[in-house]
Amino acid sequence: MYIVGYNKNIKLKDSELKKGSFLSITLLILSGELIFLLPYVLARVFRPTFLEVFNLTNLQLGGLFSIYGTVAILSYVYGGVLSDKFKPKILIALSLFFTALGGLLLATYPSYFMLQLLWGYWGFTTVFLFWGAMIKATRVWGGSKNQGEAFGLLDGGRGLVAASMGTLGVLIFSLFLTNDIELASLPERKNAFRYVILFSSFIVFLTGILVIILMKSSQEGVTNRNASLIPNIKSILKIQSVWLIMFIIIAAYVGYKVTDIYSLYASDVMNFNNLEAANIGSLQMYLRPLVCLLIALFANNKSYIHLIIIGFIVMLIGALIFSFGIVQVDMNYVFFFSLIVVATGTYAIRALYFSLMQEGRIPLVLTGTAVGVISVVGYTPDIFASPVIGYLLDTYPGIIGHQYVFSMLVVFSILGLWASIKFAKLITNFK
């Protein structure tokens, strides 16, 4: 069988796609999560502290994420085509270098206006040169028969990196506090958090150097220097599976955005202190690698879409528990159980949704463009989810606001379940 792009002269045999080296996937894992450490992970793990030291409301933080998402949306398509033209090594390394430089500005605690510019800058540096290149390199690494393993390892490994960095960040933060967290003054907390930011920036920059030195050319992807924007996009939009993957990703990504508030839920509803809440944010992140690595072990030779359907059902159940207001103060076991249910469903879907490109018969040579087009719709929660979440939490303090957030997740879980069932019927017709 040949995988053929819009240019009929470009052909690649499935049999030529072999699983890549462990070093290649390791570098993709490291860069794939550390690129988002500064714009996302720190705010997720340290949300109460982040709001405090930067003097932000939930709505203002949501506004930063929305600016990031808007710039990212504009970058996905063009960056996708770029990744079809050039090998990922340089693209990924440059993204890491530019992103790390932004951390130096963040450590100065700039004005809200400068924060808006910074998040817009990160929306460009983490997507334009990076996103399509990473996804395409991962698909190539997995070969023609190991897509579940490839993307399961990618997202599981990314989750492990995020969780590890969250734990390390909490440790660094606590080391630079001279007093207990409740007794530490705001200047003390700001100083301690500055070290977390600077350390994060250093790690991101160092990873860029490792990519330059160690990433193997043989596993960098399949390129077409003659690729052009409009013909590529037209070819991708004619594929029905592309549209369904868009809806699957947008639903799953809303679930992922909701993970941003777990530490805040622990603080606002469960009455945990800031450090305990940060630990909750860090600990729940360890569920991501656990779930995704299990997916990597057991997904191959199975239909990925059926596992995704199960994931949406699980996510829906967890969202319903929170939306009904069942999880309240002094119900720690119920809180942990419900958190685990929502996170398990969310992370299982994330581990697999780009694996659907193989089942959906999307040409390998157009992977970058497909990722760009799919991401334009799939990642729109970067624009609307955070502001909506921030508005609900600020307008309806306490458990009520959180109930509304999880009610939104219920709606999107149903959307994702519908799209997944439609996709399953589509690939059945292929066979």
Structure tokens at 346: 């969310």
CATH number at residue 128: 1.20.1250.20
Q: Could you tell me if residue 119 is inside a domain?
A: yes
User: What does the pLDDT look like over 83-123, one tens digit per residue?
Assistant: 767 777 888 999 999 999 999 999 999 999 999 999 999 99
Q: Could you tell me if residue 125 is inside a domain?
A: yes
Cα–Cα dist 58/42, whole Å: 15
- Look over the chain and give the mean of its residue pLDDT values, rounded to a whole number: 83
Q: What pLDDT is recorded for position 12?
A: 41
The residues, any chain, with a CB within 8 Å of residue 264's CB and separated by 6 or more, are: 47, 48, 58, 277, 393
* DSSP string of 67-134, one letter each residue: HHHHHHHHHHHHHHHHHHHS-HHHHHHHHHHHHHHHHHHHTT---HHHHHHHHHHHHHHTTTTTHHHH
Residue 6 DSSP label: S
Q: Could you tell me if residue 8 is inside a domain?
A: no
SS3 content of the chain, % helix, strand, coil (to 5): 80, 0, 20
Tracing tokens 């933060």 back to the chain, one arrives at 173
Q: Could you tell me if residue 3 is inside a domain?
A: no
Q: What pLDDT is recorded for position 79?
A: 76
Q: What pLDDT is recorded for position 40?
A: 86
Whether the pLDDT of residue 334 is over 80: the answer is yes
- Give the confidence band of 183 by pLDDT, cuts at 50, 70, 90: low
User: What does the pLDDT look like over 151-162, one tens digit per residue?
Assistant: 888 888 887 888
Whether the pLDDT of residue 9 is over 80: the answer is no
CB 9 within 8 A of CB 224: no
Q: Could you tell me if residue 222 is inside a domain?
A: no
Residue 16 DSSP label: G
Burial tier of 179 (Cβ tally within 10 Å: 0-12, 13-18, 19+): exposed
- Give the confidence band of 233 by pLDDT, cuts at 50, 70, 90: confident
Q: What pLDDT is recorded for position 15?
A: 40
- Element at 12 (helix H, strand E): strand 11-13
Q: What percent of the chain has pLDDT over 90?
A: 32
Q: What pLDDT is recorded for position 274?
A: 73
* DSSP string of 229-285, one letter each residue: HHHHHHHHHT-HHHHHHHHHHHHHHHHHHHGGGHHHHHHHTS---HHHHHHHHHHHH
Give the pLDDT mean for 276-294: 79
Instruction: Note down the domain range covering 351.
Output: 17-217+227-430
In sequence order, the β-bridge partners of residue 123 are none
| Amino acid letter, 173 | F
| Amino acid letter, 335 | F
Half-sphere exposure of residue 116: CA atoms within 13 angstroms, side-chain side: 7
Structure tokens at 202: 């250093």
Whether the pLDDT of residue 222 is over 60: the answer is no
Radius of gyration of the chain measured on its C-alpha atoms = 21
Whether the pLDDT of residue 229 is over 70: the answer is no
Give the pLDDT mean for 256-277: 83
- Give the confidence band of 196 by pLDDT, cuts at 50, 70, 90: very high
Buried b (16+ CB within 10 A) or exposed e, 194-205: bebbebbbebbb
The structural domain count of the chain equals 1
Please give the span between the terminal C-alpha atoms of the chain, in angstroms, as a whole number.
15
